[in-house]
Amino acid sequence: MAQHILIVDDDERLTEMLAGYLTPRGFSVERRADGRGGLTALEAGDFDAVILDVMLPDMDGFEVCRRARARSNVPILMLTARGDATDRIVGLEIGADDYLPKPFDPRELLARLGAVLRRARPAAPSAAPLRFGRLTIDRQARLVLVDGQRRELTGRQFDLLALLAERAGRVQTREQIMTALGAEGWDNVDRSIDVHVSRIRNAVEDDPRRPRFVRTVRGVGYVFSPASEGQESAGEP
């Protein structure tokens, strides 16, 4: 069954090229040229992923991403013309799953799109939920619960939290994280891993400034602490 992709970009030549590239590779593509059209399509349709440009004629892609994320966990791959690290960090902070600077090779876009789609798939049925006091990480349903209440994370953030929790008590360097989760989209230069950790803490910690679960080991990386009470972070990113 073809995976349903929404492209929101006002560059008609680019969207036509992407549709022509993705369709024979097993994707069903819809295109919208502005933010409001993209949001309307998201409300009306069931999409597997969104390719979203930052620069749109009516509102910027960040606002579209913010509104879309408030309604849905659909994977979002953002396109940025400038390749500016600030744009990429902002996109990650508001809930984008990945980013790709323009101009890009369609093969790289296909690889990144495949990566965000894989991260959005449910885990194998044998993956039992991980429970740490008030925190539950359900890898099969890809849900994070605190006191039974769902907390929203992007696909990449969920995978990062699950990885750290599966390796609880073992410090993970950024290089180990990149290797375990796949290198696409991880960039030590713009500190994207640190941005994701910050978002995870905002979602699951009582006090993100004094995290109990996802702790920093200064100069090394991160460690998930299964004993959630009475511990403080070794430092912030």
pLDDT in tens, 68-107: 988 888 999 999 876 667 777 777 788 888 888 888 999 9
Query: Which is nearest to 193 in space by CA: 157, 229, 230, 147?
Result: 157
Domain boundary among 120, 145, 167: 120
Domain boundary among 85, 120, 155: 120
C-alpha neighbours within 13 Å on the C-beta side of residue 60: 8
Examine the domain organization and report whether 109 and 8 are in the same domain.
Answer: yes
Look at residue 230 in the predicted model and tell me its pLDDT.
38
Q: Which tokens hold the place of 77?
A: 């791959």
pLDDT at 231 over 80: no
What CATH code is carried by the domain that includes residue 25?
3.40.50.2300
Strands (E), the chain: 3-8, 27-32, 49-53, 76-80, 98-101, 130-132, 135-138, 143-146, 149-151, 172-173, 214-217, 221-224
* DSSP assignment letter at 104: -
Domain assignment of residue 236, yes or no: no
pTM over 0.75: no
Examine the domain organization and report whether 44 and 145 are in the same domain.
Answer: no
Containing domain of residue 220, as a range? 130-224
Examine the domain organization and report whether 100 and 195 are in the same domain.
Answer: no
Q: Cα–Cα distances in Å, from 228 out to 2, 75, 135, 160, 200? A: 43, 30, 9, 18, 15
Examine the domain organization and report whether 17 and 110 are in the same domain.
Answer: yes
Name the average pLDDT for the chain. 85
pLDDT class of 214 with cuts at 50, 70, 90? very high
pLDDT in tens, 3-58: 999 999 999 999 999 999 999 999 999 999 999 999 999 998 889 999 999 999 99
Report the number of distinct structural domains present in the chain. 2
Examine the domain organization and report whether 11 and 111 are in the same domain.
Answer: yes
The phi, psi pair for 152, rounded to 5°, reads: -85, 125
Look at residue 122 in the predicted model and tell me its pLDDT.
64
Q: Which tokens hold the place of 24?
A: 């024979």
Domain assignment of residue 237, yes or no: no
Look at residue 202 in the predicted model and tell me its pLDDT.
94
Neighbours of 214 (CB within 10 A): 21
pLDDT class of 126 with cuts at 50, 70, 90? low
Look at residue 58 in the predicted model and tell me its pLDDT.
95
What CATH code is carried by the domain that includes residue 150?
1.10.10.10
Q: Which tokens hold the place of 29?
A: 């593509």
Look at residue 233 in the predicted model and tell me its pLDDT.
39
**210 vs 184, which has greater pLDDT?**
210
pLDDT in tens, 143-194: 999 999 999 998 889 999 999 999 998 898 888 888 787 655 555 444 678 8
